[in-house]
Structure 1
Amino acid sequence: MELLELWEKHLKRTRSERTVLTYTNAIKSFLKKLNTDKNILEISSKELYQYADLSELSPASLLTHFSAIKHFYKFLTRRGFLPKESFSEIEEAIEEIKEDYGLHTLYRKPKALERKELEIIFQKVKGSKYENIYKLFLYSGIRLSEYKNLRPEHFFLDKSGIYWIHLPAHITKRKKERMAPLLGPSREDTFRFTESLEKCLENYEETLSTNAGSLQVYTNRLSKKLGFHFSLHSFRHTYITNLINQGFPAELVKEFAGHANIKTTIDIYYRFNPERAKSVVENFLKG
């Protein structure tokens, strides 16, 4: 427990007395749920998900607990006790949990990337493996935890000429099989991506595969360099937003995104958009 004591000492120097008490109680509660024989540095996304699923805390308290957990492991990473790649995986898992439980709605809505932001990002990574990987995240809505176990055989081309991704239950977060179409913001974008993906799949390891932790670290650094915030999860938010803007109903978006509850899909992503409303009415009148 020396690491916990070191962190508490740091908190007392940098945070209010109330925050110190709240954060330390949150971490102690979390660690108590772990196997007593487990090294606290060997935390995995599985333990984080289990903590959320089994918790009887209110949404606000659960958000506070995960803020404390993130702060604790970020502190250990900065002090050299935990590899940056490991912290990146912890951070990604926490963001996914916040999304699934609607915790983001307590303080902010997830932000889809704007077209100009996407242009800046892809211009920066043009011609590199990261261009292919970022487009895969953007057009599939896949999570980082799912990407780690993704293989070429999980892709298939349908009769309409677009790719779908088939995620077996054992690689999804909820252990539920999922299928999702690889779609962009427009028909033209989608078919351009389909053509490029077909070539990438011929040499998957060279064009689409990389270490998940390193990918997260690279993305964090690129975000800071470009001067605006985005993460791998931002591509997922953009994918879901594009589906909604194209008129897909909530029950389909839920399945494509792999949300546990349709309430998550509706509460977080379905906001009134005058342009979308006009488009839906016009399509209805066409017939």
Structure 2
Amino acid sequence: MENVNVSLNSFLEYLQIERNYSKYTIVFYQKDLEEFFDFMTEEAIASFTDVTHNEARLYLTRLHQKKYARRSIARKTSCLRSFFKFLLREKRIEQHPFSLVSVPKLDKLLPKFLYNEELEKLFDVSDLTTALGQRNQALLELLYGTGIRVSECCSITIGDIDFQLGTILVTGKGNKQRYVPFGTYAHDALSTYIENGRKELLQKQLDSNQTKHLFLNFRGGAITPRGVRVVLNDIVKRASSTLHISPHTLRHTFATHLLNEGADLRVVQELLGHASLSSTQVYTHVTKDHLQRTYNQFHPRA
């Protein structure tokens, strides 16, 4: 088979430089493509020019046989469409084998979110007399209070925070920056953590070049998205034996609560950093409490 690494590296550079994709997206694309390259080797397909519509359909059949979820198959299909479109643009192939392949229809699942009672349990868990407890509380307040992504949260530096205006400069997907406001609860939790807990954690850092990142791990280095998940899992475990959430659940909760209280959809889109309004519209479901309040307020026979 031809040297796939040349095409792969060229495509990844294209995603990074021209499309400005995040490093996480590029990692997933690389894994999906390497899986397809393994399929080409198994089928003795020597060149990308030998991949036709039939091979594309066969590959998708294999994915179904491996019991991949429809969402995973849709992502892999989208990746391969982009890759072969790139090869076509670079004149390395003469036909696009995945152009006519249909993407599996995805179930429209409502995002999972938390009710106020469930949130309060999470906020009551951390020991605010300890450095890690202060960090965890600030982390929790910020994720719920701003709706930012975990990756965005981990990249925040001290200089990104403006306490006077109550805003944070957030770098999102594609390195696009936006200002996100935060409220009094997040303000107080961040102030306590920065003035006390963070300074204590910094003293544990062995490297003399102290990090400017806002959130630190127990060694004093910048916390990772995986570290945030570990922290949140521990908080949830101590708060409730029945509650199961991910860091993204706090983002879902942020958007759902805003919209249920009457926030404009386009404002929520801006706060979340969504490129299109359709991504935000998934949050326009309403809670039973909101339905009841609306009914009682507007129906003449309520």
1:65 maps to which of 62, 73, 80: 73
The structure having more radius of gyration, on CA atoms, is: 2
Distance 2:292 2:138 in 1: 31
1:248 aligns with 2:263: yes
CA 1:192–1:150 in structure 2 vs 1: closer, same or farther (change >3 Å)?
closer
Q: Retained in 2: the 8 A contact 1:140–1:181? A: yes
The alpha-carbon deviation at position 198 of structure 1 amounts to 3.1
Q: 1:259-285 CA distances to partner (integer Å, 9 max, x unpaired)? A: 12101111x10125435757998xxxx
**Structure 1 partner of 2:157:** 151
SS in 2 for 1:124: coil
1:265 aligns with 2:271: no
Distance 1:208 1:280 in 2: 43
1:165 aligns with 2:168: yes
Q: Which has a greater percent of helix?
A: 1
Superposed CA RMSD: 4.1
**Structure 1 partner of 2:189:** 196
**Structure 2 partner of 1:125:** 126
**Structure 2 partner of 1:137:** 143
1:236 aligns with 2:236: no
TM-score of the pair, normalised by structure 2:
0.52
**Structure 2 partner of 1:219:** 232
Distance 2:136 2:283 in 1: 27
Q: Give unpaired runs (5+ residues) of structure 2.
A: 13-22, 34-55, 61-67, 77-103, 202-213, 218-222
Distance 1:221 1:200 in 2: 19
Aligned length: 194
CA 1:157–1:265 in structure 2 vs 1: closer, same or farther (change >3 Å)?
same
Distance 1:260 1:51 in 2: 23
Distance 2:172 2:105 in 1: 21
Distance 2:296 2:126 in 1: 34
Q: Give unpaired runs (5+ residues) of structure 1.
A: 1-30, 39-43, 69-102, 183-189, 282-287
CA 1:248–1:154 in structure 2 vs 1: closer, same or farther (change >3 Å)?
same
Identity %: 23
CA 1:172–1:280 in structure 2 vs 1: closer, same or farther (change >3 Å)?
farther
Distance 1:262 1:276 in 2: 26
**Structure 2 partner of 1:47:** 26
TM-score of the pair, normalised by structure 1:
0.54
CA 1:50–1:179 in structure 2 vs 1: closer, same or farther (change >3 Å)?
farther
Q: Retained in 1: the 8 A contact 2:70–2:106? A: no
